[in-house]
Amino acid sequence: MRTPINLGAFGEYLHYGMPLSLVTVLDDDGSVNISTIASITPLPGEPSRLVMGVLEENYTSYLVEKRREFVVNFITPEMRSIARVCGMYSGKDVDKMSMCGLHLLPAAHIRTPLIEECPLNIECEVEHVVRVDDLYLFISKILVLEVAPELADERGDVNLEQLQLLFYSFGHTFALGPLVGQDPI
Ligand SMILES: Cc1cc2nc3c(=O)[nH]c(=O)nc-3n(C[C@H](O)[C@H](O)[C@H](O)COP(=O)(O)O)c2cc1C
């Protein structure tokens, strides 16, 4: 016997532990729009891919479909209030870049810039767009995963002890817990 749980108005109880990101995409006037996105899942296989779920009502879905590229910028626990602003206002109405006082860095492979304050960035190229009701699924190739220089060790791996990401889980936000194993499983 199990107790069914209410999934929440935005399906927040289905988000059982996803790193929160600020997704950057180029706007029509060349400026950069930022949106808080939790629904990003890495996919198995070669080349490396991820799928991002964005609702049609969000300006980000329009821009990503048009540009066919975007950057996933993972955030730190200290950036929680920025995630709230970028998840509350639409780039249709406001310039979230200047509202949040963030800084941009050029990307290595695409025209869309990275957010400097975010410790881990993933440059993505859209390969397939799947439409399900009012939801867009962007199945995208990962061109490169980049970290701030102080987070890379001498072998080119991420220094996990230093990396602090903000996780969205069951409608709440968490920092990552302690390392419990050196192996993948
Ligand atoms: C914690 C959090 C997670 C969110 N995750 C998503 C998501 O995965 N997909 C989505 O379409 N919207 C998501 N949103 C909502 C968008 O960030 C929000 O509607 C935003 O205003 C869209 O901005 P835009 O119109 O500039 O794209 C999330 C909001 C918050 C606060």
Beta bridge partner(s), residue 172: 169
9 falls within a domain: no
Is 92 inside a domain boundary? yes
CA distances from 55 to 64, 65, 163 (A): 12, 12, 29
Question: Does 180 map to a domain?
Answer: no
Asked if residue 171 is part of any domain, the answer here is yes
pLDDT tens-digit series, residues 79-103: 999 999 999 999 999 999 999 999 9
List the domain range (segments joined by +) for residue 126.
16-175
152 part of a folded domain:
yes
**pLDDT of amino acid 78:** 96
Q: pLDDT digit string (tens) for 23-58?
A: 999 999 999 999 999 999 999 999 999 999 999 999
State the CATH number of the domain containing residue 38.
Answer: 2.30.110.10
Mutate to test the pocket of ligand 1, among 10, 29, 50, 58 (most ligand atoms within 8 A of CB): 58
Whether ligand 1 lies within 6 angstroms of the CB of 113 is answered as no
- DSSP characters for 114-168? EETTSSEEEEEEEEEEEEETTEEEEEEEEEEEEE-GGGB-TTS-B-TTT---EEE
**What's the number of domains the chain is made of?**
1
CA distance 108 to 106: 7
Is 11 within a domain?
no
96 forms bridges with which residues in the sheet?
A: none
Residue 146 belongs to a domain: yes
Q: Is 11 within 8 Å of 4 (Cβ atoms)? A: no
Output the residue whose Cα is nearest ligand 1's atom 7: 37
